[in-house]
Each structure stands twice: as C-alpha cells, then as structure tokens.
Structure 1
Amino acid sequence: MEIFFIYILKSSFILSLFYITYKLWLQKETFFTLNRYYLLTGIFISVILPLITITRRVNTEIILNNIEEFNNVTQGIILPDNKINFLKLLLILYISGTIVFLLRFCIQVLSFIKLVRNEKPYKESRYKYVKTNKNTSPFSFLNYIVYNPNLHTIEDLKTILEHEKTHCSHRHSIDILTAHVINIFFWINPFSWLYKKAITQNLEYLADKYTSEKMFSNKDYQYLLLKKNLSEYNLSITNTFFNLLIKKRIVMLNKTRSQKQNLFKYGIIIPVLTVFFLSFNVKTVAQTIVVKEKKLNQNGVEISANTLEFVITKNNTDEELKNLSQTIKSKYDGEFKYSNPKRNSKGEITDISVTYKSSENSFVSSSFSDTTNGIPTIIFGKNEDDGLFITSGDKNKIKNIDVDVQIDDNEEEDIIVKKIILSDTYDNKSNNVRVEGIEGNPLYYLNGKRIDKKKFEEISVSPEKIISVNVLKGKKAIKEYGKKAKDGVIKITTKE
C-alpha cells in the first residue's frame, strides 16, 4: 500500500515538473506540434519513470563482539497501527475519487454514442458528420464532427468544419483521451487538471494554425472566433470550436513565429529529470560484511566476512544441538544432521557422527570419538571458495583442491563435485581427505589401486603431495569400470 502511494507521489511530481517547465518556457512559443509531443511525453514519462529503479550496492562493515548481537537485529519496519489505518483511509478515499471520475468519463462517452446513434451521421471522405438540433458548439471526437447547421452561416460553417477536420486528421482525440485517463487515476494531483487544460489549449492553437493557413485569412478567422456561441451541450472529451480560450487563441494567431534558436528550451527538462531520478530512483543496498571477535552464541554459530562456520564442543547439550540444526535450516538454507551422541559421566560428548549439507546439494560428513577426554572441538561450514568442510583442528589449515569432474554429456547431473577438502585433525597427526557431493557407494582408487571407503577416509597425505583428483560419473564411469561404478569413481594420484 505504501509503495503504491509512493508511486503516485513520484508520478505526480514528474507531471508537475513537465507542466511547470511548459508554463515557464514553452507555452508562449509557436512550436505547437513540438509542444503537443512534449506534453504527451510528459504523461508517459510520469507513468513509466517511477517504475524504474537502479540498484547501487555499497559494502558496509559491521564490527560485532558477539554474533548473538547480529542474530538479534530486527528485520523490517513495523508500522504503527495509526499509520496503517491512515493509509487504509487514504486508499479508500483515492479509490472512491477514481470511481467517481471514471463513471463521469463513461457517462460522457455513452452520451456521445447516444447522440451519434440518434442523429444518424453521414460520411464524406474519412469524416463522419453528425447534424443535430441541440444548442451546441461544433465539436469533433475521433473521426466524428458534430454541428448544428441552424446556428451558423454557410461561410462560417465551412470554416468551422475545416477546423474540426484538422482535429480529426491529426488525431487530437488521442491526446484528449490520454489526458482524461491521467485525470481519472491522478485526480488527487491538481497539476493533472492544469495539464489537461494545457493539452486542450495547445490543440486549439494547432488547429487554428492549420485552418487559417490553409484557406482563410487571419483577420476573417479571428472575427469568426469572436462570434462566441454559448453552448448548452458540451462534452469535455471533445474538441470544441467555441470555448473559453478564444482570447488566447487570437493572441497566438497574431504572434510572430518563434525562432529556431528557442528550441533549446525543450532540453531544460532533461537535467531536471536527471536530478529527480538520481535523488529518488537510485536504491542503495548495503552489503553487510560482519567482522567480529571469535566469540560464539549459545548455538555455537560463528560467522566471518567470507566464511560461514558452526562449532560443536563436547559440552554442547542435546537442546543446543537441536537449536543449531534449526538455525542452520531457517537462517542459512542448509541441513545439519547428527547421530544420537554418546556421553560420559560428566555429560561430555564422547562419540558423534555429523553431516552438513549446503543449499547447493553438496555435503560433507565425519565421525568423531574420544571416550577418554570427550570429542575435540568440531568446526564445520562453508568457506570463501564455496567449499564445505568438517574439521576438528585448526580451521586455517583447511585446504581446497580443485577436482576434475567427468560426467557423461547426455546425462543430467544434479550434484556437482567441486572440491576435495583436506584438514589437519585435532592432534595434528594426519591430514584427512573428504569429498563433497558424492552420494551412494563410489569406487576409490589411490595411485591406480582400489581401496575401500574406510581406508580412503583414513588417508593421511599433505596437500603438496597430491598431483591430481579425478571424479567420474554416469555412463563414462560404468564404461571404464563396469556396473560396480554406477555411483561414480574417485581417483587420487599422489607423489610417491
């Protein structure tokens, strides 16, 4: 609701800018055709421009002493009840006004249709003429020209009809209808009514110019305009020959043509619109980088600028593990599963299996056991290279090794193996190798020799000694290693 009213305000403001610019610099110029397009352009830009937004991203750094502070930040803005009620009231008022003016417009259109049907128009060339006995000034709408022949001499009528034919041939009704639509939906903006008046006025200037140049002298044409006829029947959706603009029309007929050097005035609106756009249509989005001390909240969650980490200690309770699982699912779009932890007499965890799955369907898992001292601190998460990891040692020693993945071209693959992760264990006695994103029971090969999964998980090798890691999937793996390779093949080559 609030967004809608912001749009209305922006659109109304742009329309006002076009109108003010027109009144100050363009109204007195004789570039009537250019003025027509200028005014129409103002309508379309006022409708479209507020919908265009450029997003500018700015990095902002927030330093927190505890991630718990970050979790407690309020998301969004809650509007007070009184403000919400005011907006609802304003919306009801706006809709009511729109309905009133829409009905008024429909009544005028229906009145015109009724008049045309009752009077039976006749056609000459592209124009349809409607003779009526109503006391009305001659007017035109679309390609219809309505007039009362009893109110004018033959000569005057010839001139008047030529004027109305100009309105029809130049499709001035499009401008009038467009202005009416703007009035219906932006009736709350007073400038929209002034804008419609400016459009109507300029169209009369344009028709007067063409008519006087085509077949009549300025003097005779001006005398005809002075024969103002008060009308009892008038529709605002039409172009009326006799109206309240007679004096201004005569002034413009006698005005010296504007110099071409004055065309620069049409560019005045450009910097004005640019300032408006940069001020109100550029959305600044702050990309927050959280930098904090290595402190943990009650769920053991730790976040740095480029790494998402979660920590499990031997002292975590079952409730804390459950909360951690819910936090990962709700806030980080991941999945954390763990086995029923075994505990010693002190309540410390002595045995647990952990699986962490990311939103990209990659996953890592590992088991930890220490019946004497309790499990070491477990750190798992996602690093800056999109690599998943689980480690019980120094997280700074985690290594990511690129993997050459070979998948059959004709086979779709949902899970893509991205990294081999090596990490130092808690006691620094070995470097464990784990593979992300391989489900099922793949075959394992080390330096060309097949090994079982348990031995693969126990591999102790430094990253510097790894020459290559290859993963085969799909038909390519089956073709090379047989049906037993239906879940894929992982091959590691090291420096022996």
Structure 2
Amino acid sequence: MDLLIYLAKVSCILTLFWVIYSLFLEAETYHRLKRAYLHLGYIFSLILPLFTFTKIEEISFKESSLIPSSSEFAATEISSTRMELFWSFMTENSVIELIYMNISLMFAALLMIKFYKLLKLLNRSKAFKKEGFIHVNQSIPEGAFSFLNYIVYDPNLYSEEEMKLILAHEKAHVVYKHSFDILLSHVYNSFFWFNPFAWLYQKSLVLNLEYEADAKAVSETAKADYQMTLYKITQQHFKSQLQHSFHQSPIKKRIAMLNKNNRPQSVWKLLIVSPLLVVFFLLFQVETKAQIKESVTTSESKITRIEITYDVNTTIAVIESDVSFLKEDFDIDMTFSDTKFGVNGKLISISLSVETNEGFSGSVSSSDVASRPVYFFRDFSEGAEVPFGVGTRSKTEMDSEMNYETMKNAENFIINGKKIDKEELVGNYIPVETSSYNDKSKTLSVTTKSEFSQSYFSDISDLLKELKTASANRVLDEFIYIRLTSEYKVTMMKISDFKVPDNVGKASKNDDSQKRKEFNNENIVYMLNGKKIDESQMTSIEPKEIDSINVVKSKEDLKAAGYNPNFVDGLIKITSKKVNTTDASESENSYDAFKSSLINKESAIYIVDGKEVDKKKISEINHNQIASIFIIKSVEAIEEAGFDPKKVDGLIKITTKKGVKE
C-alpha cells in the first residue's frame, strides 16, 4: 500500500508542474530555462514524496477523558459487503501492486525493443563522419532524424537548400544532447504509464526541444526560408520514436514560436510552482505525532512519621545508612550493638538505642530478629497518641496493626476463602493467621492456622482448646483473634506468652493464677465449693488446697447455672479438697440438687464410684451413704468423658462413702 501512495504523490507533483507549464510557461521563449524546469519536474516528483517532516504535538488528558460517559453499549455485528471483501482481498494480497509491476515491466520491455531496433538500424547503415557528426544516408519514412551523434536522412526527399536547413536543425539536437531528454521521458513513462499527464508532459518536453532546435537553426539561416521548409514537409508521415524527427512536432506551433523570439521574457513565471510545492509538502509530507504531555504538579511535602524495622533481611549497610539518615535529616541518634550476621550477611540479632533531640529515648534487643524483629518509630503529626516507640514484634502483629485502623469498619468478610455473612459472625471469635483488607470494597480476608478445626468459635474456651498440639501443653509467643461486635465493628485482641493447657475446660490446681489472667478485664463470677466469693477472697486460697478449677463460658452453661450471659462473661468454679469430707447435704452437689436436675431425664448417664450403672439401681442407694454428687451438663465435659452430647443430656457422677475409702 505504501507503493501506491508513493506513485499517487509522484503523479500529483508531475501534474502540478505540467499545469503550471501549460498555463504560464509554454508560450515563453527562454527554451533553455523551460527545459530545466521540465527536468526539475521529473526530479522533484520522484524525490519529494520520499521526504517527510515529523511534527511533535504535545497533548494532555485527564483520566476521566478515557472513560466513556455512558456505560450502556449495544453489541452490533457488522458484516462486510462484497465490494469491501473484494478490496480487502486485493490489498491483503498486493494484487494491485503486482498488476502495476507487470504492466511497467511490459512498457520497459517495449522501450528496450525500440532501442535495440534503432541501434540495429544505425549499425547496418553506411555512415561517414563530418564536422564531428556521424552522417547516415538511409531511406527512411521519417525523412530525417537525429540520435546522440548520429544524423540520419534521405537526400532523395529534399532539395539541396532544404537539406541544409534540416541538417542545421538536427545538428542543434545533437549539440544540445536532446536525445537524453527523450530517453528520460520514455523511462519515466514506462513506470508512470497510468498517469495521463505523464504523456502530456512528455509531449510538452519534446515540443520545447523542437523550439530550442528551431531557434538555433534560425540563428544560422534565414527565418523565412526555414519557415517555408517546415511548411512543405507537413504532409510527410512520421511516427513517435526515440530519435528526433524534423517534423515530429506540430508545425503551426513551431512557426508561431519562431515569430515570438523578440518578445520580452517573463522569467519570474518559473517561480510560480514554488509556493504550490510548499503547500503540497505541508498537506501531504508533514507527519504529526502525538506526545503525551506529562503533567507536572508541585506540592510541598512534609514527613509526618518515620518507621524503621530490622528483620532477617536487614544488612549492615542498611543499618549504617539509616543511622546517617536519621542523624542528618532529623537529628536522631541511633546506635546499635551486639549485632550478629549469618553467612549470607543477613541480620540474626541486634540491640538498638535511640535518642531524639526532643527528649524521647529508648532501647531494645532481639536475639532472633527472624521471629521478633525490632522496630523504631517517630510520629511528628500533631496530636499523635504515641509519638515515639522502640520495641519488638512479630510480623503477624505488624501486619495486623497496620490493617486494624482501616479494617475495623469492614462490611464484607472472607474467611479461608469463603464469604461469611456478618450477621453470622457477630460475637464469634475468629483466629487470625494472616489478614488483608481491601478499603475500596471494605472486605476483610482472614486465613486461620491449620491447628483450628473451625473458621470461628462462639466460645473462647472452644477456641483455646483448639490450640492443643500433639504434646499435652503448648506455649505460644502470641495469639491474635478478632471479634465482630453487635454494632458490626471489628475488634482485635492479642494474647501473649500464655500457656494453653491440655484440658481447657478443667484446669489443673496450679492454673488458678493463669485462669485469672485469662479473664482479666471481664465480668467474671468466682465460686468456691458452690458459693459465690469476691475476687479478693481468691488470693487467700492456698493452691495446695485446690482440687480442681472449672471454667464456664458458654451461654448455655451460664444459663443453666442461673446467670444472664449478657451480664456475666464466665464462671470460675473452684473445688477445694475439703469438699470430699463434707456432708453431701451441705454441698452444691447434694442429693436434692441431683434429684431436681437430671433424675427425670432418660438420656442422663449415671456413674457410681466410676462405673456406669442403670437408672433403676440409683433408687437402691441410701442417700446417707453418698459422699458427693457431680452433675455435668457442659458439651465439652461430656465429650471428654467419651459420650455424644447430642444423645446424652448430662452425666451424674456419684461417689459413695465406700468409694471414697477405696
């Protein structure tokens, strides 16, 4: 397609030159300048389309300009017409270009054949050289013609006086080397045969050559005799050839031109084409390229917070660079010591000491930055709650703290890849391994640790129970969970450095202080041997006197114990060793209590002195022989005893005085 565009531009320029020549220059008598003008027409038409000027135009746009004003689009199926399909086939397979090349080669072949025939004619004819011209006497239809240095003529057709005038004309063609002009026009037309103006241009060129030769011949002979000779030969037959024939051009125009030789010359007309060429260049040869203008906005920036964290990926070069940066830009002195690096140059342990010019200071150490990275921050913003800090924290904690301020207003929840309705999550405990928050969609995504069998738990004791591993006990560095309040606000809790016992529901006698720690800042009811006591009374209990501690937090168990779960977060029931020596009637687990709870339920399991017995045998036991009765209704305790809570409403454990002695 580029070839066709080039050919069209060449034809357009040549046509422009010919139109200007026909309108303004053809009647002028400065034939040498007109010849040069016609030569420039050939040259400029071939060269100018090859040159382009690239114009860069800067544009700026807003992002909104790229977004359609309407989001409604109608899908439309466009089918091509036969003409469009035909044209697509022609262009894709370069059919037009192939047709053009074949025809051009045919014209070039015809030109070569003409040239060959002319050379053959000149070589087989008898010739003699005279005054630098090669004369060939040959009977030819044209009568006389010239080509290069050859002048061919038939002396039998003309008188001696006519022959003299004809030879003067042909010698002018040879002297001015007009044969090269003719060859140029024929070669040009072989490739631009499709342009009708190219053929008209050739005729104008040949006629101007005749004007020039006539002017030369008239300068050496009488004008009247020369004009009469031209008139006499108008009836002779001629054909278009490569050579110059004396009667090749219209005789009337040539005679008229001979009479204009003394007219004033308007050379300025040669320049008429110049502005038109400039217009053509601007219209077709200037290529505009768009360049996006970068919008430069200036704004004052102010650092409001500096935060630096050193972990296993930190190198000594980074630390030294930070020390220099803090001192030079913020007048903060940071020193480090006790650094240890691995073979790969990465940090293992470090101690930091930081002091600011405002009076803040602090220090921190970590023997294992892989698990406990160290950090330092300075908040310069007005009203900052914590303007300065130095310490250690895990990567999970760092990620959680960064996300908490934004994620507390989350509206959508994805837990382990599954979207959960927020109504279902209200009041539940969601353990966090990793979390991410999308502020645009207000979506909180949480993944839990592999140790958890559920995505979230309704009771904290159930969640803690899930933290058991293969060993009986596990000490955690930290544990993070989130809850969704009734106002649909996300709250985050972190528990650090605590021990998760093997049996969460019933703690060992040495776990009373740990249980108290677990329930700090919650509304807890403490009971000792079935009686409610104050928290201050808990400190007076000797650990060696404690037989067991039972934690109750589920809503069902709290209701069964007579408490409102909306006001009481949990019960801590402590049983001392002396309960085993008290009378059963004085205990919470007395015979009357046993009779009023599960005695009438068919699904209750009865265990006497550690052995399961039939309900009928219970009535055979003398209540005066009963040492203690324990009623178990919590789901966890029933499961731990090896029973299915869905099939069993509760366990009644009876210990007789005989069983105690045993």
TM-score, with normalisation over the residues of structure 1?
0.56
1:102-127 Cα shifts (integer Å, max 9, x gaps): 11111110010110111043222332
Residue 66 of structure 1: how far off its partner (Å): 11
Residues 81 and 457 of structure 1: is their aligned pair in 2 closer, same or farther, counting only changes over 3 Å?
Answer: farther
Match of 2:114 in 1: 108
Deviation at 1:39, TM superposition (A): 0.7
Larger radius of gyration: 2
**Match for residue 44 of structure 1?**
43
Q: Deviations over 1:42-83 (max 9, x none)?
A: 1101110111100000012233369999xxxxxxxxx97543
1:273 aligns with 2:136: no
- For 1:429, which of 286, 302, 307 is the aligned residue? 307
User: Does residue 122 of structure 2 align to residue 123 of structure 1?
Assistant: no
Alpha carbons of structure 1 residues 66 and 465: separation in structure 2 relative to 1, 3 Å: farther
Q: Give the aligned partner of residue 219 of structure 1.
A: 224
Percent sequence identity is: 35
Q: CA deviation at 1:232?
A: 6.2
User: Which letter does structure 1 place at the counterpart of 2:117?
Assistant: S
Task: Identify unmatched segments of 5+ residues in structure 1.
Answer: 70-78, 292-304, 307-395, 398-423, 433-452, 467-496
Counterpart of 2:380? none
C-alpha distance in structure 2 between counterparts of 1:146 and 1:463, whole Å: 101
2:248 counterpart residue number:
243
Asked if the contact 1:138–1:147 (Cα under 8 Å) also holds between the matched residues in 2, the reply is yes
Instruction: For 2:275, give the aligned amino acid.
Output: P
Contact 2:151 2:171 in 1 (8 A): yes
Q: Which residue of 2 aligns with 1:5?
A: 4
Which residue of 86, 92, 95 maps to 2:98?
92
What amino acid maps onto 1:252 in structure 2? M
Give the residue type in structure 1 aligned to 2:243.
T
Q: How does 1:365-444 map to 2 (within 5 A)?
A: 428-430=306-308
Instruction: Tell me what 1:253 maps to.
Output: 258
Equivalent position of 1:165 in the other structure: 171
Deviations 1:152-196 (A, max 9, x none): 222211221111111111111121111111111111111000000
Q: Give the AA of the match of 2:10.
A: S
- Report 1:177-188 matches (<5 A): 177-188=183-194
Q: Distance in 2 between matches of 1:120 and 1:465?
A: 104
Distance change >3 Å, CA 280–CA 430, structure 1 → 2: same
What is the CA deviation profile of residues 185-233 of structure 1, one whole-angstrom value per residue up to 9, with x for unaligned ones?
Answer: 111111000000000000000000010112x111000111112166667
Give the aligned residue type for 2:325.
S
The 8 Å contact of residues 104 and 190 in structure 2, kept in 1 or not, is answered as yes
SS at match of 1:255: coil
> Are the aligned partners of 1:63 and 1:290 in contact in 2 as well (CA < 8 Å)?
no
Q: Secondary structure of 1:29's partner? A: coil
Q: Is residue 145–residue 246 contact of structure 2 (8 Å, CA) maintained in 1?
A: yes
Q: Is the 8 A contact 1:136 1:234 kept in 2?
A: yes
8 Å contact from structure 2 (residues 162, 229) kept in 1: yes
Q: 1:237: Cα distance to partner?
A: 1.3
Amino acid paired to 1:225:
L
Distance 1:427 1:224 in 2: 107
* 1:57 and 2:56 matched: yes
Could you say if the C-alpha distance between residues 187 and 172 of structure 1 is closer, same or farther in structure 2, counting changes exceeding 3 Å?
Answer: same
Q: Summarize the Cα distance change of 1:66–1:258 in structure 2 as closer, same or farther, 3 Å threshold.
A: closer
Q: CA 1:287 to 1:209, structure 2 compared with 1: closer, same or farther past 3 Å?
A: same
Q: For residues 208 and 219 of structure 1, what CA distance do their matches in structure 2 show? A: 12
In structure 2, give the amino acid aligned to 1:219. A
Give the SS at the match of 2:219.
helix
1:282 aligned partner = 286
Distance (Å, rounded) in 1 between the aligned partners of 2:274 and 2:290:
29
Aligned in 2, Cα 1:226/1:18: closer, same or farther, shift over 3 Å? same
Question: Which of 131, 137, 142 is residue 148 of structure 2 equivalent to?
Answer: 142
Deviation at 1:138, TM superposition (A): 0.8
Alignment of 1:16 onto 2:15: yes
Query: Aligned pair in 2 of structure 1 residues 464, 137: CA closer, same or farther (>3 Å)?
Result: farther
1:462 equivalent in alignment to 2:466:
no
Task: Tell me the matched-pair count.
Answer: 305
Whose relative contact order is higher, 1 or 2, with alpha carbons under 8 Å and at least 6 apart? Answer: 1
The alignment partner of 1:57 has SS state of strand
Structure 2 residues without counterparts, runs of 5 or longer: 69-79, 330-662
